Every structure is written in structure tokens, then in C-alpha cells.
């Protein structure tokens, strides 16, 4: 049987409370959080970038090993 992961997207979070929202979905049982990094260069959209991801470390949120 296949094993599935629950991976909600960060794009649906409240960006004013990004760290709290991310911590909340992980505490609720999400396996990982999906980050769509769009730079307005390769795709026509602009979302979060490396600085935002780095700031999430203040909430104990890190990339899986």
C-alpha cells in the first residue's frame, strides 16, 4: 500500500502570521509544509523567497533532513 504525506501549501497561510500558521499546521499533523518559491523570473508570479523561509527558523521550522 502506498504511503501518502499531508503537505499543505504555505500560499494559503496568513502572511502576517506565517510562522504561527506554519507551526499550527505542523502541530495539527501535517507531515511537511509545501513552499512555492516563485521569483517572477522563471514564472510570472512572485511569492515568498529565501529570506522569508529563513525567518521561519525563529519558530523552530526547518527543512527535513
Please check whether residue 41 lies inside any domain of the structure: yes
Chain position carrying cell 521561519: 56
The total of structural domains in the chain comes to 1
Please check whether residue 64 lies inside any domain of the structure: no
The CA distances from residue 29 to 10, 33, 45, in Å, are: 15, 11, 29
In angstroms, how far is CA 4 from the centroid of its own chain? 18
Contact yes or no for 24/16 (Cβ under 8 A): no
pTM metric for this prediction? 0.69
Per-residue pLDDT of the chain (65 residues; tens, 9 = 90+): 899 999 998 888 888 888 888 889 989 999 888 887 777 888 888 777 777 777 887 777 776 66
Residue range of the domain that includes 22: 10-59
Amino acid at each position: 500500500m502506498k504511503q501518502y504525506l499531508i503537505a499543505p501549501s504555505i500560499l494559503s497561510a496568513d502572511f502576517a502570521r506565517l510562522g504561527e500558521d506554519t507551526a499550527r499546521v505542523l502541530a495539527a499533523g501535517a507531515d511537511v509544509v509545501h513552499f512555492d518559491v516563485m521569483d517572477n523570473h522563471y514564472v510570472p508570479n512572485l511569492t515568498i523567497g529565501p529570506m522569508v523561509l529563513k525567518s521561519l527558523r525563529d519558530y523552530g521550522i526547518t527543512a527535513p533532513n
